[in-house]
Amino acid sequence: MSLTPVHLQFIAIGGLWTIGLSAIAFIGGSIIGFALALARISPSPLVRRLAAGYIQIVQGTPLLVTLFLFYFGLAVIGLDRLPAIVAAGFGLVVYSSAFLAEIWRGCLESVPKTQWEAAECLALTRWQRMTRVILPQAMRIATAPTVGFLVQIVKNTSLASVVGFVELAQAGKLVNNTIFEPFTVFIVVAAFYFVICYPLSAWSRSLERKLNVGRR
Amino acid sequence: MSYQFDFSALLPYWPVFLQGVWLTLKLSALATVFGFVVGTLCAIARADGPPWLKTVVAIYVETIRNTPLLVQIFLVYFGFASLGLKVTANTAAVAALVVNVGAYTCEIVRAGLESIHKSQLEAAECLGLTRTQTYWHVIVRPAIERVYPALTSQYVLLMLASSITSQISAEELTAVANRIQSDTFRSFETYIVTGALYIVLSFVVRAAFTLFGLVIFPRRRKLGTAI
Amino acid sequence: MSAVVSLSNVHKSFGAVQVLRGVSFEVGPGEVVAVIGASGSGKSTALRCINALETVDSGEITVCGHKVHDPALDRRALRRDVGIVFQSYNLFPHLTVAQNIMLAPTCVKDMGKAEARKLAESVLARVGLSEKADNYPEQLSGGQQQRVAIARSLAMQPKLMLFDEVTSALDPQLTGEVLRVMEDLARGGMSMILVTHEMAFARKVASKVIFMHQGKVWETGPGAMLDDPQTQELREFLHNGL
Ligand SMILES: Nc1ncnc2c1ncn2[C@@H]1O[C@H](COP(=O)(O)OP(=O)(O)OP(=O)(O)O)[C@@H](O)[C@H]1O
Ligand SMILES: [Mg+2]
């Protein structure tokens, strides 16, 4: 048997799920990751340490194991009838949040301390210093690595297949199980990923170049 | 919530877990060494090779960096098997990891190479070293020293990513865990222990790289800083 | 009338390094105090303590009625009354000159945009930079950036201005334009403390000169003190230049 348009369509739908799951991971991860980045530079040592601990634990665990933990963990608290996307979504959100937090903390810290001080001396509140002075500068630096990490997210959604979520990689696996043409099938699947990821990579690189030119 | 945690069921399995840890270390060490060689050669080719080779390396790097490791592993394992190249899961795992981490290494080392000034090369040539000697001592070594922290992070990530090879049942920690959980039915506990082992592993691997760096880069040892 | 600033027996250490070792002085309303001294004598640290950027180890600092040494100090209230200008300008690079100036009045004093803009234009006119309102800091020379930094502080209508070597990073010809702005301010009756290496300027503008040495106020006097130093240390300092 060979790859038919029906198979291709099935894989393409998997591709849409990959994009959807990536969006969930990125949005959820951004919200938690941003809070974590703020916690990492908090004046309170306890808050800083808690955030650092969370990040270290998540970054020290393979995403695959994190996904298993959510899959079996949800079952443990009696939520074993949920669709696969729930465990996959939770796992990827947690994973993204830790990495985004570290990326953004670096960007926040790269804004010189004197900018904090200048804003403080103008009687701005901590919140105003953050939102009006530090964040706008940090965000300029953050876009390139953030887009770069988006590529990691898209690729890592492929692991959601282990908890039974049918995204691009799993769709490929299922098609391969029926036609047994692994070489063709996985090249096609890889091509789908490439089409999603390459523009993001290129965008990230051009953003970085622009930033470097701007800085000189 | 009435779940009773029971880690005691896992107790008899601790030698199996340890075995898994050992296998993961072995697998990632192999992949790291070969991946480093492949990546460094590619970086040199990309920086100073003939144009056609530069293009080939660029395509390799971009392809690998923009597709998931899982799919690369499937391609190597199932794909090559279907072409008549029968390889064991472990060989396929190492091969896929080397190809994968080689591309990332290439990018990192290339950035290092680009940060070294060519004037250094002329200075060394004046000292009468051969071209290859010069290239190694004056360009490649300092470049690698400069990007050593980035390489360290990449290889810690590789160690964690090697868990993905459990999907083709290569022998490593996660595959071992999969087996234990199906034996004991204590899935959640099994993966908690597995996660904890990986966290320890990532600390150990990072520490090992730091120590190794101190040994091979005396400058780092003396000054405590990169170049 | 009571002093705008008073320091009494202020001590401050960084780890084992004693930087301020019992500093006391006062600044009266409308007074211009120039602080001079060798590098490392604690001038910047003293200014930073006055503005609560550093907390003192012991001693008392009162600024415009705020007890700065008090752990319960309302820092924001203090900073509404005190403006500070640094050697490195520290303008916000992502904001235009006008936006730099309008930020604090709109955030802190809830001023409307239009009113803040008018205020910005008026302080910019005072420092002679009306035409630069819509430029970004990086488009200005060092001297112009420093004048914007002064204008930004003035927009908060402070009762006291602190200047920490504001001309040290500037070429001689740019130094003059910044000093002129400060001289105008002094004539307008602003209370000021300025750390400076410009002896001629200190002699001309300051109502009081404070010579710091090894974390202490070593010698105090009117500007003329610089022509007739009483202590060996001040003599050497003046003789050796900086
Ligand atoms: N945050 C800090 N941590 C540790 N030491 C500090 C800190 N800030 C200042 N110091 C030390 O305190 C001493 C006095 O510093 P200060 O900046 O007050 O000197 P200064 O009189 O302003 O000198 P300069 O003319 O060079 O600006 C110096 O020895 C400096 O190294
Ligand atoms: Mg100073």
Tens of pLDDT along B137-150?
Answer: 888 899 999 999 99
- Residue C173, domain CATH: 3.40.50.300
- Any domain includes B200: yes
A18 neighbors A88 (Cβ within 8 angstroms) = no
Which chain B residues are Cβ-neighbours of A181 within 8 angstroms? 82
- Residue B144, domain CATH: 1.10.3720.10
Nearest partner of A97 among A41, A59, A49, judged by Cα: A59
- Any domain includes B9: no
Residue C195 φ then ψ, to 5°: -85, 125
Backbone Cα Rg of chain B: 21
Mean pLDDT of B156-165: 97
- The answer to whether the Cβ–Cβ distance between C107 and A124 falls below 8 Å is yes
Question: Looking at the domain A5-211, which fold is it?
Answer: MetI-like fold (1.10.3720)
- Any domain includes B14: no
Of B79, B80, B163, the CB nearest to A62: B163
User: Which residues have CB under 8 Å from A82's CB, separation 6+?
Assistant: A74
Dump pLDDT digits (tens) for A4-31.
899 999 999 999 999 999 999 999 999 9
pLDDT score for B138: 83
Q: In angstroms, what separates the C-alpha of A132 from chain C's closest C-alpha?
A: 8
Residue spans of alpha helices (H) in chain C: 43-50, 75-81, 97-108, 113-126, 142-154, 172-187, 199-205, 232-239
Q: Which domain holds residue B123?
A: 19-223
Mean pLDDT of C201-206: 90
For residue C46, CA distances in Å to A28, A124, A147, C41, C212 come to 47, 22, 45, 10, 10
Across chain A, mean pLDDT equals: 94
The whole-model pTM stands at: 0.91
Residue of C1 and C16 predicted with greater confidence: C16
Residues A60 and A63: their CA atoms lie apart, in Å, by: 9
Q: How far is the CA of C178 from the centre of ligand 1 (A)?
A: 24
C158 neighbors C164 (Cβ within 8 angstroms) = no
Instruction: Give the type of residue at A137.
Output: Q
Assess whether pLDDT exceeds 90 at residue A35.
yes
pLDDT score for A118: 96
- Any domain includes B136: yes
Q: Most A CBs within 10 Å: which of B191, B193, B199, as the mutation test of the A interface? A: B191
Residue spans of alpha helices (H) in chain B: 14-48, 51-65, 69-74, 80-82, 89-114, 119-126, 131-134, 141-161, 173-184, 187-216, 218-223
- The answer to whether the Cβ–Cβ distance between A124 and C108 falls below 8 Å is yes
Total residue count of chain C as it appears in this document: 242
Dump pLDDT digits (tens) for B54-101.
999 999 999 999 999 999 999 999 988 888 888 899 999 999 999 999
CB C41 less than 6 A from any atom of ligand 1? yes
Residues B55 and A162: their CA atoms lie apart, in Å, by: 35
Residues C146 and C161: their CA atoms lie apart, in Å, by: 14
Q: Which two tokens stand for residue B148?
A: 């050593």
Dump pLDDT digits (tens) for C208-224.
999 999 999 999 999 88
CB C242 less than 6 A from any atom of ligand 1? no
- Find chains touching chain B: ≥3 CB pairs under 8 Å: A
Across chain C, mean pLDDT equals: 92
Q: Among A120-124, A136-140, B114-118, C164-168, which stretch is predicted with the lowest mean pLDDT?
A: B114-118
pLDDT score for B223: 61
- Any domain includes B148: yes
Instruction: Give how many domains chain B has, as a whole number.
Output: 1
Q: Which two tokens stand for residue B211?
A: 């120590």
Which chain B residues are Cβ-neighbours of A62 within 8 angstroms? 160-161, 163-164, 174, 195, 198
pLDDT score for C240: 79
- Any domain includes B13: no
CB-count exposure of residue B183 (10 Å: 0-12, 13-18, 19+): middle
CB C19 less than 6 A from any atom of ligand 1? yes
Per-domain boundaries in chain A: 5-211
Dump pLDDT digits (tens) for A37-95.
999 999 999 999 999 999 999 999 999 999 999 999 988 887 777 888 999 999 999 99
CB-count exposure of residue B12 (10 Å: 0-12, 13-18, 19+): exposed
B213 neighbors B60 (Cβ within 8 angstroms) = no
- The answer to whether the Cβ–Cβ distance between A182 and B63 falls below 8 Å is no
CB C45 less than 6 A from any atom of ligand 1? yes
Which chain A residues are Cβ-neighbours of C91 within 8 angstroms? 118
Across chain B, mean pLDDT equals: 90
Of B3, B79, B174, the CB nearest to A65: B174
Output DSSP code: residue B79: I
CB-count exposure of residue C156 (10 Å: 0-12, 13-18, 19+): buried
The sheet with strand C208-213 has its strands ordered as C82-85, C160-164, C191-195, C32-37, C208-213, C216-221
CA dihedral of residues B148, B149, B150, B155 (deg, nearest 10): 80
- Any domain includes B94: yes
- Most ligand 1 atoms within 8 A of CB, residue of C12, C18, C20, C43 to mutate: C43
pLDDT band at residue B222 using 50, 70 and 90 as cut-offs:
low
Which chain C residues are Cβ-neighbours of A140 within 8 angstroms? 94
Of B1, B3, B71, the CB nearest to A169: B71
Q: Which domain holds residue C15?
A: 5-241
- Any domain includes B3: no
pLDDT score for A216: 42
